[in-house]
Every structure is written in C-alpha cells, then in structure tokens.
Amino acid sequence: MSSHSQFVAVLDFGAQYGQLIARRVRELRVYSELVPGDISANELAELRPSAIILSGGPASVYAEDAPKVDPDVLGLGVPVLGFCYGHQLIASALGGTVGHTEVGEYGPAELERMGHSRLLHGTPGEQTVWMSHRDAVQQVPDGFVVTAQTPICAVAAMECDERRIYSTQFHPEVRHSRYGMHMLENFLFGVCRLEPTWTMDSIIDQKVAEIRAKVGDKKVILALSGGVDSSVVAALVHRAVGDQLTCVFVNHGMLRAGEPEMVEEVFRRQFNVPLVHVHAEGRYARLLAGVTDPEEKRRRIGSEFWKVFFEEAQKLDGVEFLAQGTIYPDVIESGARKTGGKASTIKSHHNLIPFPEGVRFDLIEPLDHFFKDEVRELGVALGLPEAMVYRQPFPGPGLAIRIIGEVTPQKLDLLRAADQVVREELDAYNERLFRQTGERNSEHTCWQYFAVLPDMRSVGVMGDERTYGRCVVVRAVESSDAMTADWAKLPYEVIGRISSRIVGEVPGVNRVAYDVTPKPPATIEWE
C-alpha cells in the first residue's frame, strides 16, 4: 500500500459491501483497499490513507457483538465517508443517536435534498437512491447538519464539512442510486482533492518495476491454464523479466475445443514466451478411468496437476520464483486476511499450492489486489486477445465435471464437439444482443453457456433406423457473479438451431435437452 501515493481505506463491516465500494473507488481511478472494520486508529494511520470510507454491514449498531469503529479513526484529520451501517457508526461514535424504525426501508427510495451539501453537490433536489435498513440515525452529532431525507428516513444524509465527515443512510455504491458515483466523485476529487491517476498504464509500470526488483536476474516459473488470471500474470511477468519466465501449460485433455491451440498461438507465437506444453492427456485418462464420484474427480485432477507441474519445474535449473494468478477475492475469501467484517468465507480458494518435499519457491502474486474486471482490463492493456480475456468462467477440472459418471476420451471428444456448437451459437446470440443494445452485459446476455453429457442413453430414430444414443443437455445462464443465476430465456429458434446442429454434427447424439433451473436450487455446473 505504501507504494500508492493516494490510497482510500475502506473499513469493511461485512457482507461484501466493502468490496463493492473499493471497486467503485477504483473505477474512478483512485486506488482503494479493504481493511478490517475494527482496525485501530494507530494502525490505520500507519497506512497513511488519503481518505477513509466506512462500509455498510448486516449488523445493528446496538447488537452486543456489533462491529465497532475505533472513534479515534474519525479524529485522524483524514476525510471520512460512511454508508448505511457506517453512517450509523459515525452518528453513535460522535454522540448522536440511532434507533429502530417502525418500518424498514428496502429498495428504491425517493430522496429529497435539504440545504447545502458538499457530498450531494450537483445532484438533483429529488432523486432515487437505494436503501436497505431497519435502524436509522435519529439525532445527528453536534456540528452535523442533515442534508437529505426520505419519507421514511429523516436523516438520509448528514455532514460536518468543517471536520470533513460525510455520511448517507443509502448505498451510493449500488447502481440503483442514480447519482451515487457523482457523490463519490464529490468526495474523492472535491473534498479529498485526489487525482484519478490509477490507470492501467500506471499499474503496469508499477507492477513491472516491483516484479523486476523482486526477481532480479533469477528465473520464474508459472502454471499456465489458459484461464484469464494465469494468462494475465504470464503477460505481466513476461513484460517485466522477459525470458527469465518459463510457462508450463499442463494439458489435461479436459479443455474446450481450441483452447490448447490458443495458448500456443498467444504465448509461444505472439508473445514469444518460453512455453513447455505438457501433454498429460493419457495420464489423466488413466487417472480418471472408473471414477464416477464428482468430488473424487475434482480431487484427483487437482492433485495430479501439481504433480505434473512440479515434475516439469524440477527439470528446469535455478528457478527461484513461482508466479501465480491469485486475485483479490481469493485473498479476501480465503480468510488469509483478518476481516473484522468477516467479508465472507464463501469458497475455499483454489490457489493453495502443495509443494513436494524439499521444494520451495518464492511466490509472486502480482494480481493479489485486483478484482476480476480489473484483471481483464489489465490483460487487454497488456495486449492479450479479447477472446482470452473475456472468456466465460471455466472450472479448473474442466469438462470432467460436465460428464456425469465416468470420464472417457470418447465422451470428452463428444462433449467437446457439442460444447463448441453451443458456444458458437451463443457467442453469436450475445453479439446480436450487443449490436441491439450497445451493452456488453445487457439484462439478457448469456453469462455462461456450455454442454453437459449426462450418464444416460435414450431411444431415437434416424432415417429408417432406431438409435439408442446419447443425450446432451444445454446449460445457459444469466448471472453477474455466479452466486445466483437464472436460466437464459433464449429465443426458441436459437435453442432449435443448437439442437439440430448438435444432433446433425455430433455422432452418437440423438437428443438435446435444455436445463431450465435457476441457481438456487440447482448449481450452474452439473457436478
């Protein structure tokens, strides 16, 4: 953090509110990071923040175990902004009062401005904001003025311009608060006088310098999967240390059509990176023979990956560093960082490395403070093709968890061919939507789409003959974060074309079904 001259500390009081705020600040090109909500004022002062934002959170300020803010945080002389729970914390820490309201306020609310406000400056007198609260500030602390209200919430915003403390009951970080970003700009650029200098070019320069300083003339190895994160790390580390980087691409045979070729094309030919392509297809086929349990498949694929990787790594001389595509949500969710706000431990992260006996590399994790969309932006800025950078999520165990039951090379070939049809048709569908709406992620854009091969056959007829063939299920979902998803309401003609192409082009398939379950209760993947 010390390497950032401007740094906005988001004190995180839980439930992912903090992450969204940090992302919004970064969208305005100012560096921001989450810190635990219960950090002491002294510890926070050592980080030398240019501004402090207190996030929302699920607790009630008066609950016994409610996370508290060290009141001295508000006296550091650094401008403070608080949202929702943060707004209530400011009120109660500085001598105001917070109480329960008769009715909670959830969703859009009509906000009315009152008097002069630096935070709300330039936004309309009446506007829609996003509310989600039961408690409310009843009395503002001495020196504060109320700057906005809603029919239900008397203190929807307050500020003490003299002390540079501003807060809102609503959530400006949520898109439904129409002028939320404007308010954040007022705070960052008007009140704090920061500059929007955190651009992709400046980030690349800084990361390249850091990697060079750390690596010196030593060698670096990286496990390239063809996914976004490892590809961006490869491009970044290669920019920094050139041929001192070797990428090892373990081809487990469960990738989608065209992916190994793309890795070869981009890294070996376009970037000219030393690349070891390990053909482990046969090894994995033997490893998975007879295995039907989904978790066992995952476990075998995961542990074999590192075995293959380290066998290759040990063939290279003098490698001291291992570069990894760990990203910020992995760090936050792994619980590696103490989060006062318990910013959720939803997924155990996929990046723990089982080093073999006696083997140790220093880690380089240049993306460990970047959100996914920033990683993509960085990839584009580094010259990676959009098809690689904007590819849809793809699980590490690959097609193996889209084949129900035993995985065999024949089933993999069949699924790969069917999947390619689904991808071609839905890539084209998304492209048409984009041309109509001008938005890459409009409401009906398919977010993830693929084919699944269930462990069953059914009767059909082709020409004069009865067939007993395989069934392919098409899964296509709309989602923004994979936590929840809905099945995509595709036009019938699109589903129809996918179906006729699959049965026409993929030998052995005589039936196509479309999965119409949302998540929850189903998951996106079938295993």
Under the criterion CB under 6 A, does residue 397 sit at the interface with ligand XMP? Answer: yes
Catalytic residue among 173, 259, 374, 425: 173
Please, which residues have CB within 8 angstroms of residue 403's CB and are 6 or more apart in sequence?
411, 412, 415, 452, 453, 455
In whole angstroms, how close is the CB of 109 to ligand XMP at the nearest point?
A: 32
**Maximal C-alpha separation, the chain:** 88
- Residue closer to ligand XMP by CB (options 137, 301) is 301
36 preceded by cis ω (within 30°)? no
Q: Which stretch binds ligand XMP (CB under 6 A): 9-17, 392-400, 422-430, 495-503?
A: 392-400
Helices and strands (DSSP H and E) totals, the chain: 14, 19
Phi/psi of residue 99, nearest 5 degrees? -145, 175
CB neighbour burial string for 244-254, b if at least 16 within 10 angstroms, e if fewer: bbbbbbbbbbb
- Contact between 350 and ligand XMP by CB under 6 A: the answer reads yes
Report residue 317 as tokens. 């001389």
CA 95/CA 98 separation, integer angstroms = 10
Residue from 71, 75, 393, 460 that binds ligand XMP (CB under 6 A)?
Answer: 393
The two structure tokens encoding residue 518: 């949302």
Q: How many residues bind ligand XMP (CB under 6 A)?
A: 12
The site string for ligand XMP over 279-298 (x = CB under 6 A, - otherwise) reads: -------------------x
Pick from 14, 329, 395, 469 the residue near ligand XMP by CB under 6 A.
395
Nearer to ligand XMP, 167 or 430 (CB): 430
Q: Under the criterion CB under 6 A, does residue 57 sit at the interface with ligand XMP?
A: no
Minimum distance, C-beta of residue 353 to ligand XMP, in the bound complex (Å): 15
Nearest residue (CB) to ligand XMP, 454 versus 460 = 454
Please, what is the minimum distance in Å from the beta carbon of residue 291 to ligand XMP?
A: 15
H-type alpha helices, 122-227 = 180-185, 200-215
Provide the 8-state DSSP code for 59: S
Nearer to ligand XMP, 56 or 329 (CB): 329
Q: Which stretch binds ligand XMP (CB under 6 A): 37-45, 144-152, 425-433, 517-525?
A: 517-525
To ligand XMP, the closest distance from the beta carbon of 387 in angstroms equals 18
Per annotation, catalytic residue among 87, 133, 171, 252: 171
Question: Using the rule CB under 6 A, which residue among 19, 147, 244, 448 binds ligand XMP?
Answer: 448
Catalytic residue status for 84: yes
Whichever of 166 and 449 has its CB closer to ligand XMP, that residue is: 449
Nearest 5°: CA angle at 196, between 190 and 202?
160
Q: How far is the CB of 393 from ligand XMP (least distance, A)?
A: 4
Considering the complex, state which of residue 212 and residue 298 has its C-beta at the smaller distance from ligand XMP. 298
Is residue 525 part of the contact set for ligand XMP (CB under 6 A)?
yes
Nearer to ligand XMP by Cβ, of 277 and 298: the residue is 298
173 flagged as catalytic: yes
3-state secondary structure at position 216: coil
Sort 304 into a burial class: Cβ within 10 Å, 0-12 / 13-18 / 19+.
middle
Strand 32-36 and strand 80-83: the pairing is unpaired
Do the beta carbons of residue 473 and residue 452 sit within 8 Å?
Answer: yes
The answer, yes or no, to whether the previous bond of 520 is cis (omega within 30 of 0) is yes
Decide if 87 is catalytic.
no
Q: How far apart are CA 274 and CA 341, in angstroms?
A: 43
Helices 200-215 and 228-241, axial angle in degrees (round to 10): 70
Contacts of 139 (CB under 8 A, 6+ apart): 91, 96, 97
Residue 333 near residue 349 (C-beta atoms within 8 A): yes
Binding segment for ligand XMP among 210-218, 388-396, 461-469, 496-504 (CB under 6 A)?
388-396
Using CB under 6 A as the binding rule, whether residue 372 contacts ligand XMP is answered as: no
Helix residue ranges, H only, 264-408: 281-288, 294-313, 328-333, 372-381, 386-389
Q: Is 445 in the site for ligand XMP (CB under 6 A)?
A: no
Write out the E strands in 237-345.
245-251, 275-279, 319-323
Buried b (16+ CB within 10 A) or exposed e, 465-475: eebebbbbbbb
Phi-psi region of 288 (alpha: psi -120 to 50; beta: other; left: phi over 0): alpha
Least separation in angstroms between residue 421's CB and ligand XMP is 19
Query: CB neighbours (10 Å) of residue 404?
Result: 17
Q: Using the rule CB under 6 A, which residue among 29, 372, 457, 519 binds ligand XMP?
A: 519
The stretch among 141-149, 191-199, 371-379, 390-398 that binds ligand XMP (CB under 6 A) is 390-398
Residues pairing with 477 in the sheet: 448, 487
Quick one: tokens of 22? 């940090």
Binding letters toward ligand XMP, positions 457-496, x by CB under 6 A: -------------------------x--------------
Q: How far is the CB of 448 from ligand XMP (least distance, A)?
A: 5
Which C-beta is closer to ligand XMP: that of 180 or that of 395?
Answer: 395
**Is residue 226 involved in binding ligand XMP (CB under 6 A)?**
no
Instruction: Please tell me which residue in 4, 84, 153, 192 is annotated as part of the active site.
Output: 84
Please report, as residue ranges, which positions from 315 to 344 form the binding site for ligand XMP (by CB under 6 A): none
**Residue 304 interacts with ligand XMP (CB under 6 A): yes or no:** no
Residue 396 makes contact with ligand XMP by CB under 6 A: yes
Shortest Å distance, C-beta 474 to ligand XMP: 15
Q: Catalytic positions, please?
A: 84, 171, 173
Binding site for ligand XMP (CB under 6 A): 298, 350, 393, 395-397, 448, 482, 519, 523-525
